[in-house]
Amino acid sequence: MNYLLTTYCLYLALFRQRKMALLFPILCFFTPKGLGLLDVSSLPYLSVNRALVVVMVVCFCLRVMSHGFQIRKTSFPLTRPFVLLGAAYLAAFALNPATWSSDAVTALMDFSELFFPCYFIWYFCKSPDEAERVLKCFYVVGVLVSLYGTFAYLMHFNPYFDYLKQTTPTGRVAATDYNDSLRGLRAVGTLSHPITYGAFQTMTFLVGVFLMRGNRSAVRLLLFLGAQMILFAGIVVTNSRTPLVYAFLSLLIFTCFARVRDKILVAQIAVVALVIGSLVGLEYVEKLADFVSSVASDSSTSSQNGSSLQMRAGQLLVAWKFFTNAPIFGGGVSATRSIIASGAYPDFYNAESALFQWAIDLGIVGLAAYSALFIQVFRTSGRLMQTRFSRAVLYATIAGYVVFVLATGVLETMQLFLTIIVLLFIAGGKERPRQSHSPSTSGYDRLVIPASGR
């Protein structure tokens, strides 16, 4: 299946590149890092997701070359922070010659898989209506994936997850549902890690809130609430706290920035949810609250076999030691991975915070680049969004995600986050004018982006 999917996407990238770019966020649900395309010990590991990024970039370059190296100018709002981020990856790679052979591909792909998907969406998506159609498709697929994940969790049978494990025979990349851990089985859906799966569902949940901004008829509101409950149940069965914190914090931030009528609507929905939860079983509501709050409690966290503030303090000491060894440009793009693999620092665990990973790998320059990226996303949200409702959703999504990655790490979520953010920029922003700076540029647009590929 992985080869068939890659072949089909190669066809789209060659002949329907706009469709491929806009389909990519939906494909992220089915192409986690654990879905391998090439996993041979003597070669770098290649996942289907990274293969799709490579295919899109190569085909885009071929189109540009075939049309005299003309590229339509676009006002991509994240250009400057991405330039800084690219410089950070380049410096971390260039200044650590001992790891050149192993880090060359890693540095290039770590940057490319973040930049190119969201840039291509901005480049090819032409109107708010088109972006909203993509978001609607994304939301529907997200709800269906959530249903599948919850059903697979309850049945203790997940054929897609079993297939993922078969595509990585060397074991360099693992797909895990923690079935043998103290906490027990955790839902993973079509992805390879429960926390990643929970974060994807939270993003889908917030996309659903965004899509309800223009139409709140009784029927649509009931359908929306039903779909949101499916997603919330899917987040709960991941048995992971950080996706729940992401969801609750985002809703809180949305309520703070939204209008009074929207605050009242959220309050009404919360009351209904609490009433239903109390009828189903108040003890489950209490357990859920204890589970979410246990992230700040050493005693309850130990029983859950999860992260705690004490654990983070121990990790901070290890991270500080390696950060001070190369504070400016970092120790190399795979430095954190090498520390974990060595097993010399058991208190470091898996470096469950993006702050630790970025500081060790990319140094102050990398931290500044990622900070600039998030700041620019915030600023662009305030500048582009036409309504207060849209701005509130964007602020909530971004702030919740920042807390999520600082609490538990990126875990293959930033690629989807950035593509969704760009789609929200377009869908909630002003109508984008057609760039027709010159006859040659307009002609290029027609050739590169045929109507049949829209």
pLDDT top residue among 442 and 390:
390
Confidence of residue 439 (pLDDT cuts 50, 70, 90): very low
The residue whose two tokens read 């293959």 is 412
**d(C-alpha 216, C-alpha 265), whole Å:** 11
Rounded average pLDDT over 330-338: 92
Angle between helices 48-66 and 17-27 (to 10 degrees): 160
> In Å, what is the CA distance from 272 to each residue of 12, 44, 210, 229, 265?
45, 51, 20, 12, 11
Backbone angles phi, psi at 415, to 5 degrees: -60, -50
Q: Which residue from 341, 335, 395 is spatially nearest to 360, judged by alpha carbons? A: 335
Rounded Cα gap, residues 397 and 420, in angstroms: 10
Neighbours of 83 (CB within 10 A): 13
The answer to whether 153 and 187 are in contact (CB under 8 A) is: yes
95-104, 112-121, 260-269, 440-449: the lowest-pLDDT one: 440-449
Q: Please report the pLDDT score of residue 180 as a whole number.
A: 75
Map tokens 């307009």 to a residue. Answer: 442
- Check pLDDT > 80 for residue 273: no
Output the pLDDT for position 172: 84
CA angle 193, 253, 286 (to 5 degrees): 65
Per-residue confidence band for 272, with pLDDT thresholds at 50, 70 and 90: low
379 pLDDT exceeds 90? yes
Region 373-399: mean pLDDT is 93
Q: Look-up: residue for tokens 């200044």?
A: 95
β partners of residue 47: 36
DSSP-derived letter for residue 38 is E
Instruction: Report pLDDT for 263.
Output: 79
- What is residue 451's predicted lDDT score, i.e. its pLDDT? 37
Cβ burial of 247 (10 Å; 0-12, 13-18, 19+) is: buried
pLDDT of 8 above 60: yes
- Phi, psi torsion values for 431, nearest 5 degrees: -60, 130
Which residues, including other chains, have CB under 8 Å from residue 46's CB and lie 6 or more apart? Answer: 36, 37, 38, 39
pLDDT for 305 beyond 70: no
Residue 17 CA to residue 10 CA, distance in Å, equals 9
Q: Which residues contact 266 (CB under 8 A, 6 or more apart)?
A: 251, 254, 255, 258
Q: What single-letter amino acid sits at 317?
A: L
* pLDDT > 70: percent of the chain: 84
Task: Give the per-residue pLDDT at 160.
Answer: 94
Lookup result for tokens 């915070």: 353
Domain that holds residue 225: 2-453
Is residue 329 very low, low, confident or very high in pLDDT (cuts 50, 70, 90)?
Answer: very high
- 189 pLDDT band, cuts 50/70/90, is very high
pLDDT interval class at 249 (50, 70, 90): very high
Instruction: State how far Cα 114 lies from the chain centre.
Output: 10
At 75, which amino acid appears?
Answer: S
Q: Which amino acid is at 45?
A: Y
Which residues is 38 bridged to in the sheet?
46
Split into its structural domains, the chain has a count of 1
Please check whether residue 184 is in contact with residue 234, taking contact to mean a CB–CB distance below 8 angstroms.
no
- Helices 218-236 and 128-155, packing angle to 10 deg: 50
CA distance 126 to 142: 24
Q: Is residue 19 within 8 Å of 120, Cβ to Cβ?
A: no
pLDDT at 294 over 60: no
Give the H or E element holding residue 433: none
Could you tell me if 55 and 48 are in contact, meaning their C-beta atoms sit under 8 angstroms apart? no
What tens digit of pLDDT does each residue of 146-175 get? 999 999 999 999 999 999 989 988 888 888
**Residue of 436, 378, 343, 362 whose CA lies nearest to 110:** 362
Helix/strand/coil for 361 = helix
Q: What is the pLDDT of residues 30-50, one digit of tens each?
A: 999 999 999 888 788 899 999
Interval 55-62 mean pLDDT: 94
